Amino acid sequence: MINNKSDIHIRLEPEESEALKKVASGNGQSVQDFIHDAILQYLHKKSLRTDGKFTFIDLFAGIGGMRLGFEQAGGSCVYSNEWNKYSQKTYLANFGDWPEGDITKVDARTIPDHDILVAGFPCQPFSIAGVSKKNSLGMATGFEDKTQGTLFFDVCRILKAKRPKAFLLENVKNLKSHQRGQTFKVIYESLQELNYDVFYQVIDGQHYVPQHRERILIVGFDRERYGSVNFDFNLNIPEHKPVIADILETDVDEKYTLSNKLWEYLQNYAEKHRQAGNGFGYGIASPEGVARTLSARYYKDGSEILIEQPGKNPRRLTPRECARLQGFPDSFSIPVSDTQAYRQFGNSVVVPLIGAVAALMTDKLQELENEKASL
């Protein structure tokens, strides 16, 4: 097993060493863990900038796809949060910022003030039954009752504590139909209850990248600050629609070619489901077309997006091609294993789409601020 960790030795005076042990012990940590956390906190604070047109925070940050989009729109990230250690590593390599960990343990008051909250929050089941029972008894249910125990609750409590001008939330298309629409109803009502005007739309990223990728985007503006707000997802669609050929590398390692055993299995599996009348099976991406949705499971066999190769078995995409498929620039560093990279890009967002929505939001905020100043 390869150990990618490196040791750094520091020298302390005896009294400094004793003081450090005392502080670490009082914090319930070993000296090593205390120093480790202190260095990461320093890196986090050192990377923060406030010289952009607006400030934002990056929650459930993953590898920073949402951050890239909002930076493209002129924003400065003043706080990030992501619990996965491999995603934290990629985030650090690209932004010089080690995101804070478990969001459920973060005191919202310690998060810096910001203009826009950005979050690609996970979709968890809500306990609809308890809410329904309270409603039937005529009892009030606030967002704390409705969302407690889910990670969406942490988004709500940060919105309540910090009161940003706007927010953008991103999730899978099926959020709208999850639990027969009840999950989305809770989310929408909770955001409205916090006194934000809320707008949402399912958007396919294939106008920006060669991938069919539908995601729901939820935008909100602070009613307490601006009153009633109107917002439309009138995106500027690029003239050139990208195709798979645009993202392919020219010199690809043989390790990405499917083995005979795997290729035979995928063909047999597809034929079995074809005979059963199902649409399951591998997908060969046309060079002049768009791919299926890249998923976090791509590392398993790559079956949903395969590239044909003359005279040999098809191959899976390389991690760099997956990055391009999501609109990440080639300057984006990939410091993790292929397996982790596939998971990370499969879980990420279409960067140029997020950038386009961020531009719409900042234009609307500027308009609202101008109207407010003229009153």
pTM here is: 0.83
Among 246-255, 280-289, 306-315, the least confident range: 280-289
* Token output for 61: 């940050």
Q: What is the pLDDT of residues 182-204, one digit of tens each?
A: 888 889 999 999 999 999 999 99
218 with 200: CB under 8 angstroms?
yes
Tell me how far apart the alpha carbons of residues 184 and 78 are, in angstroms, rounded to a whole number. Answer: 29
Residue 161, CA distances (Å) to 85, 337, 354 in order? 27, 38, 25
Report the pLDDT value the prediction gives residue 358, as an integer from 0 to 100.
97
Q: Higher confidence at residue 119 or residue 7?
A: 119
Q: What is the pLDDT of residues 68-112, one digit of tens each?
A: 999 999 999 999 999 999 999 999 999 998 999 889 999 999 999
Report the pLDDT value the prediction gives residue 188, as an integer from 0 to 100.
93
Cβ contacts of residue 329 below 8 Å, gap of 6+? 68
142 with 160: CB under 8 angstroms?
no
Reported in sequence order, the residue ranges of the chain that DSSP labels E, i.e. its strands, are 54-59, 75-81, 116-119, 166-172, 196-204, 214-222, 306-309, 312-316
Report the pLDDT value the prediction gives residue 116, as an integer from 0 to 100.
98
Domain with CATH 3.90.120.10 in the chain: 244-346
Report the pLDDT value the prediction gives residue 149, as an integer from 0 to 100.
54
Marked catalytic residue, from 77, 123, 156, 322: 123
211 with 325: CB under 8 angstroms?
yes
pLDDT, averaged across the chain: 86
Report the pLDDT value the prediction gives residue 78, as an integer from 0 to 100.
95
Q: How confident is the model at residue 175 (pLDDT cuts 50, 70, 90)?
A: confident
Q: Higher confidence at residue 273 or residue 367?
A: 367
Known active-site residue 156: no
Tell me how far apart the alpha carbons of residues 86 and 341 are, in angstroms, rounded to a whole number. Answer: 9
Report the pLDDT value the prediction gives residue 146, as an integer from 0 to 100.
57
Report the pLDDT value the prediction gives residue 34, as an integer from 0 to 100.
62
Report the pLDDT value the prediction gives residue 130, as an integer from 0 to 100.
44
% of the chain residues with pLDDT over 90: 64
Q: What is the CATH number of domain 14-238+351-374?
A: 3.40.50.150
221 with 364: CB under 8 angstroms?
yes
Tell me how far apart the alpha carbons of residues 313 and 44 are, in angstroms, rounded to a whole number. Answer: 45
Mean of the pLDDT values across residues 251-272?
93
Domain with CATH 3.40.50.150 in the chain: 14-238+351-374
What end-to-end distance do the CA atoms of the chain give, in Å? 66
Q: How confident is the model at residue 148 (pLDDT cuts 50, 70, 90)?
A: low
Report the pLDDT value the prediction gives residue 41, as an integer from 0 to 100.
58
Mean of the pLDDT values across residues 271-288?
81
Report the pLDDT value the prediction gives residue 304, as an integer from 0 to 100.
92
Report the pLDDT value the prediction gives residue 326, as an integer from 0 to 100.
98
Q: Regarding beta strands 116-119 and 54-59, do their DSSP bridges make them parallel or antiparallel, or are they unpaired? A: parallel
Mean of the pLDDT values across residues 238-258?
94
Q: How confident is the model at residue 214 (pLDDT cuts 50, 70, 90)?
A: very high
* Token output for 102: 């478990």
Q: How confident is the model at residue 16 (pLDDT cuts 50, 70, 90)?
A: low
Among 10-24, 31-45, 280-294, 322-336, the least confident range: 31-45
Q: Higher confidence at residue 279 or residue 323?
A: 323
Report the pLDDT value the prediction gives residue 51, as an integer from 0 to 100.
63
Q: Which residue from 130, 145, 154, 134 is spatially nearest to 189, judged by alpha carbons?
A: 145
Cβ contacts of residue 289 below 8 Å, gap of 6+? 210, 243, 244
- What would be the CATH architecture of the domain defined by 244-346? Alpha-Beta Complex (3.90)
Mean of the pLDDT values across residues 123-128?
55
Q: Higher confidence at residue 13 or residue 210?
A: 210
Q: Is the pLDDT of residue 13 over 90?
A: no
**Could you write out the three-class secondary structure of 42-105?**
HHHHHHCCCCCCEEEEEECCCCCHHHHHHHHCCEEEEEEECCCHHHHHHHHHHHCCCCECCHHH
Tell me how far apart the alpha carbons of residues 151 and 157 are, in angstroms, rounded to a whole number. Answer: 10
Report the pLDDT value the prediction gives residue 43, as an integer from 0 to 100.
57
Q: Is the pLDDT of residue 215 over 70?
A: yes
Report the pLDDT value the prediction gives residue 141, as an integer from 0 to 100.
44
Mean of the pLDDT values across residues 41-68?
79
Q: How confident is the model at residue 147 (pLDDT cuts 50, 70, 90)?
A: low
